[in-house]
């Protein structure tokens, strides 16, 4: 089967999906008597119009890059990891345990240690579903989603019974020590004499996320492991023929995936809240699925899609703040974008493919 | 039933009209002509065998009859009336029932529930179930089709499951029953019982079409037999007027396709020693029942056989990737050293390290990753080799350069290593795999169906390379369902049937007829006409036919 050109696959399809989602959102906004134009303007101003808006947009983007990469890596091995949410929760637990374990003298020591904790805990949470899939054939979609619930319950228990400082009512850990405070981009810009993004949570993790994109790209397309992951994802019989162990690769791919999801906690737990709270992940694990789908499981695509969803999150928040569009509707808009770019991807892709095939047919005639 | 129809010339004289008549049925899948101008007449109340090798087009023809495929051309008459069979529902209404090779039963439903599935009379199940129970009781008495109606399918033996399939068809009032390779999954005793059932059905006036590649069954039970070869119906005869020898001959054909220049073999050291190799798959079916053979350096051992008789399992076991859940026994020695058969050192990369190259039977599912580029594929399986790696990363430049060399040596077209494997033609895909395996210079090359779906030019090229490898003092194990390929390439020929090696022959001293009988499991080949043996050296290029594409 001939397909359409790469640019149409990678850019045109998501773009049309996005426009469709926006069109339906506009109709909904019109239906409740508000101006779609004003809504769009508010969102763009709020998310991209100021360094403050950018600061928040990039903060959300960072979360989505990690969860998006997590889904993408597993996807290359043909594994659908929808447990990013739980793995990120556990990553938060790992960060909190490390950050609270020592009176860290400086963030440059705390950060690598916390990253190891986040990745290990996230990976550990992916290990059991991975093992069950590889050895027992239990479907990874079922097990990872179940593990999201177990993670939530586990975190609840840990916060209420173990991590909560005595005498407080809030189910949250103690504040992390001063030495575990990560540099905010604001502070980093200020050190260069630039005033940027005051009072925004975006921090050094954003840069780590960009590095993660590059490393994942190297992993998938430049290493033996990535080659074996992709080979297994494309054809298990062929992998066996080539001497690639499906069990080993399935487990390793899921460990990397879980580790990436866990690393998100560096951003939200260590970089922003500076303590572990309940529901710290706020659905970013699930957004990661849409991000990976929209980004075609390519790290660069994941980055762009994460940016889009960062914009939607921040812009949506602004919309609730400055217009009388209710908060619920913002969720509707976000859901529409996920629906069109993720779930309904083929609805746009298939007619588009047919158009390209027809055009090509004409070209040959 | 109708009165006897007057013979309209050319038809075999029969007392009843034809239950099925096909006129000029053709069906192509892309460039592959699966059925070509097929005529078939099946008189009512007879058992009609359709025989042919795998890929001869039998199953396609029956799928057309059952409404799964639409023929490109041709006409179908059922009980004398023209009928367009657009879907299986039309076929069922016309009284055609089909028993597939792979049963279509709901495993956790009872027999009764499976029988009424899709034939329920109303919204409530109870009346249908009660009715079905009565019908089943009657059918069981009439045809020895005893199955406990309340047993769930997963509790039943394979033979009983097949009976449920037959009951399903009969419950839908089929009077033309098509069975696709019905004995492939049965034990000999179960097969005998099935034949008694079929005899009973025939006595009741039902028409039965039996698709098989087993000659014994044809001779035992059919009234007429039609032979298919490469999409064409090459003969239709009365079973009483033919012999297994003639059918074997018709089935495999005598056409010699290629002229392969090759000097006599000069066998050297023993490279591979296989002793008492057994394999039981995860469903408990014995696929290999004690295989033993040797291959020496500088010789090609050809394994002939209808596919599905254990060749695939043999190749996979030697290659280090037997089917999941299978158990194997016996020993394999490579260059005198015993290979780990089941442990941690039994995987395919260990086998490669021991000097075993492998061109798998299914290049699209196993030999290549279709979405990978040609250059990624030319390192597949050898991607851990030091020359393809540079520290942590793969040395893509080195792999690409190596791919370009291989593509040049094997004349892969288009010579573009960046093209995905799926964009190459079948022949060029195969050249990619063969290039990868032969250029590693293995001590032993396992090669399965080297020229399946490969164009004529590439066939010749690949054959030459296999012989060059042999002449370089390497051992080759060739598995092919193409008898002429086996005959022209092999230095020795072993014939596999039902997980066993039925015998070994020298290509110059055997005939396709004799091999055909061995392939059908008949070892008593003394009376096969040996004068038809054609030594490969004497085959002529002018007999090359272009129909394999």
Omega within 30 of 0 (cis) for the link into A73: no
Please state, in angstroms and rounded to a whole number, the distance separating the CA atoms of residues B18 and B8.
12
ipTM confidence score = 0.87
pLDDT of residue B513: 81
Listed residue (B37, B41, B5) closest to B24, CA to CA: B37
Of B347, B368, B389, which has the smallest distance from its Cβ to A238's Cβ? B368
Which residue intervals of B181-327 are DSSP H helices? 188-203, 215-221, 244-252, 311-319
Contact residues, chain B, for A237 at CB < 8 Å: 362, 365-366
Which residue intervals of B347-453 are DSSP H helices? 348-353, 374-377, 396-409, 426-438
Segment B476-501 mean pLDDT: 91
Are the Cβ atoms of A222 and B352 closer than 8 angstroms?
no
Please state, in angstroms and rounded to a whole number, the distance separating the CA atoms of residues B342 and B6.
65
Please, what are the domains in chain A?
Answer: 59-312 (1.10.3470)
Please state, in angstroms and rounded to a whole number, the distance separating the CA atoms of residues A67 and A285.
5
Of B320, B347, B394, which has the smallest distance from its Cβ to A224's Cβ? B394
Of B365, B370, B394, which has the smallest distance from its Cβ to A227's Cβ? B394
What is the DSSP secondary structure assignment for residue B262, as one 8-state letter? -
pLDDT of residue A362: 64
Does the pLDDT value for residue B543 go beyond 50?
A: no
Q: Which residue of A has its CA nearest to B399?
A: A222
Q: Give B 296-325 residues with CB within 8 A of chain A.
A: 319-321
Please state, in angstroms and rounded to a whole number, the distance separating the CA atoms of residues B529 and B527.
6
pLDDT in tens, chain A (365 residues): 456 787 887 788 888 988 999 999 999 999 988 899 999 999 999 999 999 999 999 999 999 999 999 999 999 999 999 999 999 999 999 999 999 999 999 999 999 999 999 999 999 999 999 999 999 999 999 999 999 999 999 999 999 999 999 888 889 999 999 999 999 999 999 998 888 888 899 999 999 999 999 999 999 999 999 999 999 999 999 999 999 999 999 999 999 999 999 999 999 999 999 999 998 998 999 999 989 988 889 999 999 999 999 999 999 888 888 888 887 887 888 888 888 877 777 888 888 888 887 887 665 54
Q: How far is B31 from chain A (nearest CA, A)?
A: 14
Residue A279 contacts B, CB cutoff 8 Å: no
Q: Which residue has the tokens 């039970």?
A: B221
Of B320, B369, B394, which has the smallest distance from its Cβ to A231's Cβ? B369
Would you place residue B456 in the very low, low, confident or very high pLDDT band (cuts 50, 70, 90)? low
Q: Is B18 helix (H, G, I), strand (E, B) or coil?
A: strand
Q: How far is B521 from chain A (nearest CA, A)?
A: 30
Please state, in angstroms and rounded to a whole number, the distance separating the CA atoms of residues A40 and A308.
14
Would you place residue B256 in the very low, low, confident or very high pLDDT band (cuts 50, 70, 90)? very low
Q: How far is B435 from chain A (nearest CA, A)?
A: 15
Residue A231 contacts B, CB cutoff 8 Å: yes
Segment B180-187 mean pLDDT: 77
Q: What is the pLDDT of residues B286-297, one digit of tens each?
A: 899 999 999 999
Residue A248 contacts B, CB cutoff 8 Å: no
What is the DSSP secondary structure assignment for residue B529, as one 8-state letter? -
Please state, in angstroms and rounded to a whole number, the distance separating the CA atoms of residues B330 and B274.
8
* Residue percentage of chain B with pLDDT more than 70: 89
pLDDT of residue A45: 94
pLDDT of residue B530: 41
Instruction: Please state, as a whole number, how many other Cβ atoms lie within 10 Å of the Cβ of residue A139.
Output: 14
What length is written for chain A?
365
| A78 CB-near residues (< 8 Å, 6+ apart) | A232, A233, A234
For residue B478 the two structure tokens come to 């060739």
Instruction: Please state, as a whole number, how many other Cβ atoms lie within 10 Å of the Cβ of residue A341.
Output: 26
pLDDT of residue B542: 36
Three-state SS sequence of B123-141: CCHHHHHHHHHHHHHHHHH
Query: DSSP string covering B340-374, please?
Result: PSSSTT-SHHHHHHTTEEEE-S-IIIII--TTSBH
C-alpha distances out from residue B301 to A346, B26, B265, B445, Å: 50, 37, 11, 11
Backbone angles phi, psi at B78, to 5 degrees: -115, 125
Listed residue (B257, B300, B233) closest to B27, CA to CA: B233
Are the Cβ atoms of B383 and A238 closer than 8 angstroms?
no
pLDDT of residue B528: 45
pLDDT of residue A8: 80
Are the Cβ atoms of B351 and A243 closer than 8 angstroms?
yes
Contact residues, chain B, for A244 at CB < 8 Å: 349
pLDDT of residue A111: 96
Q: How many CA atoms lie within 13 A of A114 on its CB side?
A: 35
Does the pLDDT value for residue B6 go beyond 60?
A: no
Please state, in angstroms and rounded to a whole number, the distance separating the CA atoms of residues B378 and B417.
9
The size of the A-B interface in CB pairs under 8 A is 64
Residue B349 contacts A, CB cutoff 8 Å: yes
Segment B455-474 mean pLDDT: 88
Residue B392 contacts A, CB cutoff 8 Å: yes
Tell the CATH superfamily of the B265-355+444-450+475-549 domain.
P-loop containing nucleotide triphosphate hydrolases (3.40.50.300)
Contact residues, chain A, for B352 at CB < 8 Å: 243
pLDDT of residue A14: 84
Does the pLDDT value for residue B406 go beyond 70?
A: yes
* Residue percentage of chain B with pLDDT more than 90: 50
Listed residue (B164, B172, B47) closest to B118, CA to CA: B172
Would you place residue B537 in the very low, low, confident or very high pLDDT band (cuts 50, 70, 90)? very low
For residue B12 the two structure tokens come to 């075999």
Contact status, residue B539 vs residue B460, Cβ threshold 8 Å: no
Q: Which residue has the tokens 């010749």?
A: B460
Of B366, B369, B394, which has the smallest distance from its Cβ to A222's Cβ? B394
Architecture of domain B18-252: 3-Layer(aba) Sandwich (3.40)
Identify the sign of the CA torsion B83, B88, B89, B91. positive
Backbone angles phi, psi at B119, to 5 degrees: -125, 30
pLDDT of residue B254: 55
Please, where in chain B does CATH 3.40.50.300 lie? 18-252, 265-355+444-450+475-549
Residue B485 contacts A, CB cutoff 8 Å: no
Q: What angle do CA B369, B375, B378 make, to 5 degrees?
A: 65
What length is written for chain B?
549
Listed residue (A18, A75, A79) closest to A305, CA to CA: A18
């Amino acid at each position: 089967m001939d397909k359409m050109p790469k640019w149409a696959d990678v850019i045109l399809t998501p773009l049309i999906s996005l426009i469709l989602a926006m069109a339906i959102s506009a109709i909904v906004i019109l239906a409740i008597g508000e101006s779609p134009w004003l809504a769009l303007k508010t969102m763009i101003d709020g998310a991209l119009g100021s360094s403050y808006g950018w600061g928040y947009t990039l903060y959300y983007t960072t979360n989505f890059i990690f969860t998006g990469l997590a889904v993408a890596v597993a996807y290359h091995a043909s594994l659908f990891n929808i447990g990013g949410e739980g793995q990120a929760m556990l990553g938060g637990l790992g960060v909190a345990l490390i950050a609270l374990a020592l009176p860290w003298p400086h963030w440059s020591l705390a950060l690598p240690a916390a990253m190891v904790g986040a990745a290990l805990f996230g990976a550990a949470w992916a290990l059991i579903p991975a093992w069950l899939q590889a050895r027992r054939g239990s479907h990874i979609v079922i097990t990872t989603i179940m593990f999201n619930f177990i993670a939530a319950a586990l975190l609840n228990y840990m916060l209420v019974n173990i991590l909560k400082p005595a005498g407080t009512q809030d189910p949250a850990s103690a504040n992390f020590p001063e030495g575990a405070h990560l540099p905010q981009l604001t502070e980093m810009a200020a050190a260069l004499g630039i005033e940027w993004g005051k009072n925004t949570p975006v921090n050094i993790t954003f840069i780590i996320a960009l590095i993660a994109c590059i490393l994942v790209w190297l992993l998938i397309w430049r290493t033996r492991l990535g080659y074996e992951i992709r080979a297994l994802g494309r054809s298990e019989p062929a992998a066996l023929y080539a001497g690639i162990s499906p069990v080993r690769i399935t487990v390793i791919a899921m460990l990397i995936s879980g580790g990436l999801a866990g690393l998100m906690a560096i951003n939200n737990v260590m970089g922003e809240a500076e303590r572990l709270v309940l529901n710290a992940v706020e659905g970013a694990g699930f957004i990661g699925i849409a991000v990976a789908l929209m980004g075609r499981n390519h790290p660069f695509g994941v980055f762009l899609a994460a940016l889009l969803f960062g914009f939607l999150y921040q812009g949506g928040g602004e919309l609730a703040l400055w217009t009388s569009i209710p908060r619920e509707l913002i969720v509707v808009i976000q859901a529409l974008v996920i629906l069109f770019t993720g779930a309904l991807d083929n609805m746009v892709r298939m007619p588009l493919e047919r158009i390209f095939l027809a055009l090509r047919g004409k070209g040959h005639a | 039933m109708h009165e006897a129809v007057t013979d309209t010339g050319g038809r075999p004289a029969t007392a009843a009209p034809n239950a099925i008549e096909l006129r000029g049925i053709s069906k192509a899948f892309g460039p592959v002509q699966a059925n070509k101008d097929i005529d078939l007449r099946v008189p009512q109340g007879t058992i009609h065998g359709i025989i042919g090798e795998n890929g001869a087009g039998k199953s396609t023809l029956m799928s057309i009859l059952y409404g799964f495929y639409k023929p490109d051309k041709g006409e179908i008459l059922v009980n004398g009336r023209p009928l367009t069979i657009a879907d299986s529902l039309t076929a069922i209404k016309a009284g055609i029932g089909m028993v597939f090779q792979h049963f279509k039963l709901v495993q956790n439903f009872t027999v009764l529930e499976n029988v009424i599935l899709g034939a329920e009379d109303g919204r409530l199940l109870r009346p249908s179930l009660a009715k079905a129970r009565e019908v089943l009781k009657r059918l069981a008495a009439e045809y020895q089709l005893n199955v406990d109606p309340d047993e769930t399918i997963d509790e039943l033996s394979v033979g009983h499951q097949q009976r449920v399939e037959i009951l399903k068809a009969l419950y839908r009032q089929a009077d033309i029953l098509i069975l696709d390779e019905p004995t492939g999954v049965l034990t000999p005793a179960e097969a005998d019982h099935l034949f008694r059932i079929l005899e009973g059905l025939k006595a009741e006036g039902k028409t039965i079409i039996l698709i098989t590649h087993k000659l014994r069954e044809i001779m035992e039970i059919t009234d007429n037999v039609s032979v298919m070869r490469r999409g064409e119906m090459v003969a239709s005869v009365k079973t009483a007027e033919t012999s297994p020898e003639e059918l074997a001959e018709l089935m495999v054909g005598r056409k010699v396709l290629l002229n392969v220049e090759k000097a006599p073999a000069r066998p050297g050291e023993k490279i591979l020693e296989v002793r008492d190799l057994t394999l039981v798959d995860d469903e408990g079916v014995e696929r290999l029942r004690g295989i033993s053979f040797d291959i020496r350096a500088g010789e090609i051992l050809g394994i002939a056989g209808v596919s599905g008789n254990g060749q695939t399992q043999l190749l996979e076991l030697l290659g280090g990737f037997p089917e999941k859940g299978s158990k194997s026994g016996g020993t394999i020695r490579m260059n005198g050293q015993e290979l780990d058969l089941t442990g941690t050192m039994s995987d395919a990369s260990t086998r490669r390290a021991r000097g075993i190259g492998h061109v798998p039977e299914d290049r699209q599912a196993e030999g290549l990753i279709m979405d990978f580029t040609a250059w990624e594929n030319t390192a597949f399986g050898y991607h851990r080799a030091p020359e393809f790696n540079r520290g942590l990363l793969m040395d893509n430049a080195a792999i690409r350069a190596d791919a370009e060399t291989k593509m040049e040596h094997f004349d892969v077209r288009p010579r573009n290593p960046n093209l995905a494997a799926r964009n190459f033609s079948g022949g060029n895909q195969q050249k990619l795999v063969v290039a990868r395996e032969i250029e590693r210079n293995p001590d032993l090359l396992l090669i399965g169906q080297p020229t399946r779906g490969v164009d004529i030019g590439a066939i010749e090229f690949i054959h030459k390379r296999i012989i060059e490898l042999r002449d370089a003092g390497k051992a080759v194990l060739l598995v092919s369902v193409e008898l002429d390929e086996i005959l022209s390439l092999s230095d020795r020929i072993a014939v596999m049937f039902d997980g066993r090696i039925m015998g070994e022959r020298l290509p110059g001293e055997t005939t396709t007829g004799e091999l055909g009988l061995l392939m059908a499991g008949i070892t008593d080949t003394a009376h096969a006409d040996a004068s038809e043996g054609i030594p490969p050296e004497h085959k002529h290029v002018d007999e090359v036919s272009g129909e394999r594409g």
